[in-house]
Amino acid sequence: MAEAPKLFKVTIDNITIEVPAGTTILNAARQIGGDVTPPAMCYYSKLQGSGGKCRTCLVEVAAGSTADPRPMPKLVASCRTNVMDGMVVKNITSERVTDARNGVVEFLLLNHPLDCPICDQAGECHLQDLSYEHGKEGTRYEFAKRTFEKEDIGPYIQLHMTRCILCYRCTYVADQLTNNRVHGILDRGDHAEISTYISTAIDNDFSGNMIDVCPVGALTDKTFRFKNRVWFTKPVDAHRDCPTCCGKVTLWNRGDEVLRVTARKDQWGEVQSYDGKPGWICNTCRFDKKDMNDWVIDGPMKVARHSVISANHYYSGTVKPQETVAEVMGGRAPKLLMDIHSISDVNKPEVHLSELPGPATGATFNSPTPLKGSNGQD
């Protein structure tokens, strides 16, 4: 018996590529890149066993292989189907796929609260991107959306169960990154929910990575909660010497204040890899280092042109643009007709949002000493 060839030839949307045996269709498409890559809500290449749940990556296999060129009768999940030699795959060229994907998005949005105006994930949410591309404007669902009782899962992570699409990524993070998973999916079907069961706090040192893998706003950073919208923050890449993790992060700044720290993301929205190892970051880097002095700045993060995060961002590298007014005025500084800070209540220099452990309250902005007792509740 002849040995199987090492490289399989696969054609995706009329683009042919050679990939090693055992590669999934999704990963083969990612090697081509661009529009032919199916979207993935649950598959995460850095988490073993992920995928196969959300069905957004469905593709049509027009020919199974050279040996057996019959088409596959049903659409297949590309994240769970390996390529065969001579396989012909249709993604965006297939009407069936587009139609099925629209249906999947409609299903994902059935119970999604669509509270994007409040949600901290808005602007970097994969479900937002997906529904923008494939979703309908209205819903055909007539029943009440499923709701859950609010649950506190610890001081750092905010859980919004209503937004969850049950991709299971966070449970894989807990299984594969931390030594002890204390949360999971309870119940089945429509009742399925992510919970810690007895409301035990998730306090493992790498638990914060659940926030990064969550494709929607179900798990968000409590230290960043409501502090600013992502598109008004300035993302810069930075690093520090961290004994527990790689220490390579993206800081989301407002002025010189670090409002949020996340791991760096690659083009698929997944955590960037360094030397083949995923660059997960520890909770100390993520939640406790909210000072610019803790970090060494590498430069502004590259933001895709079409992303809302690129709005109102002007890049000049790490070099501060030159002030030209004084130069052309013969050394005289420009005369300010009005200093906006003398009248404006927004972005007051004495209010340090980055030092608050949780969301700001009315007391944060209105009390004379903003930082003391700023939580309003105490």
Binding footprint of another protein on the chain (CB under 8 A): 115-118, 122, 225-229, 231-232, 308, 311-312, 337-338, 340, 342-347, 358-362, 364-366, 376-377
In whole angstroms, the minimum distance from the beta carbon of 225 to another protein comes to 7
In whole angstroms, the minimum distance from the beta carbon of 126 to another protein comes to 19
Element (H, E) at 123: none
Q: Nearer Cβ to another protein, position 2 or 340?
A: 340
Q: Nearer Cβ to another protein, position 267 or 347?
A: 347
Distance, in Å, from the CA atom of 164 to the CA atom of 218, rounded to the nearest integer, reads 5
Q: Nearer Cβ to another protein, position 162 or 204?
A: 162
In whole angstroms, the minimum distance from the beta carbon of 297 to another protein comes to 25
Q: Nearer Cβ to another protein, position 148 or 232?
A: 232
In whole angstroms, the minimum distance from the beta carbon of 367 to another protein comes to 12
Q: What is the dihedral of CA 262, 247, 265, 168, to 10 degrees?
A: -70
Decide: 238 and 301 in contact? Cβ < 8 Å.
no
Q: Nearer Cβ to another protein, position 319 or 346?
A: 346
Element (H, E) at 107: helix 95-108
Q: What are the angstrom distances between the C-alpha of 119 and each of 91, 229, 307, 308?
A: 31, 9, 17, 15
Neighbours of 26 (CB within 10 A): 25
Q: Nearer Cβ to another protein, position 328 or 340?
A: 340
Q: Nearer Cβ to another protein, position 64 or 359?
A: 359
Rg of the chain (C-alpha set): 24
Q: Nearer Cβ to another protein, position 147 or 318?
A: 147
Helix (H/G/I), strand (E/B), else coil: 111: coil
Decide: 201 and 159 in contact? Cβ < 8 Å.
no
Distance, in Å, from the CA atom of 120 to the CA atom of 347, rounded to the nearest integer, reads 19
Q: Nearer Cβ to another protein, position 41 or 360?
A: 360
In whole angstroms, the minimum distance from the beta carbon of 346 to another protein comes to 4
| Maximum pairwise Cα distance, the chain | 86
Q: Which of 359, 364, 373, 358 is nearest to 346 (CA)?
A: 364
Q: What are the angstrom distances between the C-alpha of 179 and each of 38, 142, 373?
A: 33, 43, 36
In whole angstroms, the minimum distance from the beta carbon of 228 to another protein comes to 7
Q: Which of 136, 140, 146 is nearest to 166 (CA)?
A: 146
In whole angstroms, the minimum distance from the beta carbon of 245 to another protein comes to 29
In whole angstroms, the minimum distance from the beta carbon of 122 to another protein comes to 7
Phi, psi of 106 (to 5 degrees): -60, -40
In whole angstroms, the minimum distance from the beta carbon of 256 to another protein comes to 17
